[in-house]
Amino acid sequence: MKMTVTAMVLALSAGAVFAEDKVTIEFAYPYSHLFDVTYEAMMPAFREAHPNIEVKFRATYESYEDGTNTVLREAVAGNLPDVTMQGLNRQAPLIDKGIAQSLEPFIAAEADFEKDGYHDAMLSLSTFDDTVYGLPFSVSLPVGYYNMDILREGGIEALPQTWDEVIAACKTMKANGIDNPIFWGWNITGNWFMQALLWSQDKAIVENGTVTLDSPETLVALEQMQEIFAECEMKNLEWKAALASFSAGEIGMMFWSTSALGAVERSQGDFELVTGPFPGLDGAPMGLPAGGNAAMLTSTSDDPAVRDAAWTWLKYITSGDGAAEVAKTTGYMPPNKAANEIILANFYEQNPNKQTAVDQLPLLRDWLAYPGENGLAITQVIYDSIERIVTGDATDMEELQQEMVEEVADLLPNG
């Protein structure tokens, strides 16, 4: 069929208009090994619903710390993404520096925001001074991963409920020929497991702007770590190597974030995998820190179309449909009410290993950021101190605690 010249002109004009209407936004997120599959699952439905928006994915952040450092550098260089995914404990620095922008104007323009699953409990994770700066995307809690084949071979039938029981299980397994009974995730991002041991005692690592490393609870946490590492003869594995080793069926027990469950299952060897609640110091933990991340608007564009497109993307990935993909492809729990109560109504019943973290939700506590400009440096001080326990370089926990207190004090705004 031949087209007239007029028809051809009209078709070309329509194509030009469509090209002009196409809006490109840039997006950056952490942990490609966890989330690549999530965004791949989301994109077809998003493209169908919003064909005029192109999402350009930037290089993924290695960790939450890397994500914060990267955005801080990009702010200086004037090269910020339109939307960034940041750890729940890393939102405050971007707000303090005016990098993350209030979402209140966008929320106010939404007709049924709460009905879409965005309720106060969810928004509180990213609310500062009564202003919403982010929409939480995923929430995680620490859990135990167990290779039941190795445990049974090592003489263990019941999952341990306390760290003393974990240590006893290690010794039994070692006595029965199990070379590598445990990996305990001390090197997870943001001193998360340190905070887990403190919250287990109902103690926050930051209180009234002060880091509580001089507390009796901190000494208990350090001594508990020392016992686990030494008594279990734990190998000092880099965290990615530890996840790969557990997935390959080489480690009996792994204590890590539920976030990695999807990745572990996708690469799992031929063994029975069971998850269990995070053990406590003396009975069940009194609290546990909420891990996870939130989507934040950092666009510097003056174009309303770009900013609207960034909001559309940000809202979609945290909506019921978007957040449901988080649960399906990872071990994270979506904080969106619509995802959990409607879309995923039968999901956890069919996926009991992912139910473990949901059962621990009553223990949810804040994952706390350290105050001042040196928050990331304080994170590194604590990381380095724990590594000294793992390697055996530090053996006196009271002495190590005092060193930590002094080093961190030098980094705090008030000394």
Return the SS3 of 27.
Answer: strand
The answer to whether residue 17 is domain-embedded is: no
Residues 65 and 91 in one domain: yes
User: Measuring CA to CA, which residue among 407, 414, 412, 411 is closest to residue 384?
Assistant: 407
| Strands 131-132 and 127-128, sheet pairing | antiparallel
The string of pLDDT tens digits covering residues 338-386 is 787 778 889 988 999 999 998 998 899 999 989 999 999 999 999 999 9
| 6-15, 42-51, 375-384: least confidently modelled range | 6-15
The answer, yes or no, to whether residue 3 has pLDDT greater than 90, is: no
Residues 75 and 120 in one domain: yes
| Whole-number pLDDT of residue 2 | 41
The answer to whether residue 414 is domain-embedded is: no
The answer, yes or no, to whether residue 180 has pLDDT greater than 80, is: yes
Residues 254 and 393 in one domain: yes
| Whole-number pLDDT of residue 20 | 53
Question: What is the residue range of 41's domain?
Answer: 24-140+291-365
Residues 121 and 169 in one domain: no
Q: What is the mean pLDDT of residues 203-217?
A: 96
| Whole-number pLDDT of residue 129 | 93
Residues 241 and 95 in one domain: no
| Whole-number pLDDT of residue 321 | 86
Q: What is the CATH number of the domain that holds 361?
A: 3.40.190.10
H and E: helices and strands count for the chain: 19, 15
Residues 225 and 263 in one domain: yes
For residue 407, give the H/E element and its range. helix 397-409
CB 390: neighbour CB atoms within 10 A? Answer: 20
- Residue 56 in contact with residue 299, Cβ under 8 Å? no
The answer to whether residue 230 is domain-embedded is: yes
Domain end: 349, 365, 381, which one? 365
Residues 199 and 277 in one domain: yes
Q: What is the mean pLDDT of residues 180-195?
A: 97
| Whole-number pLDDT of residue 221 | 98
The answer, yes or no, to whether residue 333 has pLDDT greater than 90, is: no
The answer, yes or no, to whether residue 121 has pLDDT greater than 70, is: no
Domains: count for the chain: 2
| Whole-number pLDDT of residue 278 | 98
| Whole-number pLDDT of residue 316 | 94
How would residue 217 be classed by pLDDT, with cut points 50, 70 and 90? very high
Residues 262 and 396 in one domain: yes
Residues 360 and 254 in one domain: no
The string of pLDDT tens digits covering residues 386-415 is 999 999 999 999 999 999 999 999 999 976
The answer, yes or no, to whether residue 13 has pLDDT greater than 50, is: no
| 6-15, 121-130, 150-159, 290-299: least confidently modelled range | 6-15
The answer to whether residue 323 is domain-embedded is: yes
Residues 273 and 166 in one domain: yes
The answer to whether residue 16 is domain-embedded is: no
| Whole-number pLDDT of residue 267 | 95
| Whole-number pLDDT of residue 8 | 43
pTM listed for this prediction? 0.87
pLDDT cut 90: percent of the chain above it:
82
The answer to whether residue 6 is domain-embedded is: no
| Whole-number pLDDT of residue 5 | 41
Q: What is the mean pLDDT of residues 32-52?
A: 96
Domain end: 347, 365, 383, which one? 365
Domain end: 365, 384, 400, which one? 365
The answer to whether residue 3 is domain-embedded is: no
CB neighbours of 85 closer than 8 A, spacing ≥ 6?
A: 27, 28, 29, 30, 61, 67, 137, 293, 294, 295, 296
The answer to whether residue 10 is domain-embedded is: no
Residues 254 and 184 in one domain: yes
| Whole-number pLDDT of residue 57 | 98
What is the sign, positive or negative, of the torsion defined by CA atoms of 231, 233, 235, 240? negative
The answer, yes or no, to whether residue 240 has pLDDT greater than 80, is: yes
The string of pLDDT tens digits covering residues 72-98 is 999 999 999 999 999 999 999 999 999
The answer, yes or no, to whether residue 7 has pLDDT greater than 90, is: no
Q: CA of 189: how far to CAs of 33, 161, 257, in Å?
A: 15, 24, 10
User: Measuring CA to CA, which residue among 276, 314, 320, 335 is closest to residue 140?
Assistant: 335
Residues 375 and 348 in one domain: no
What is the sign, positive or negative, of the torsion defined by CA atoms of 195, 37, 314, 100? positive
Q: What is the mean pLDDT of residues 18-27?
A: 81
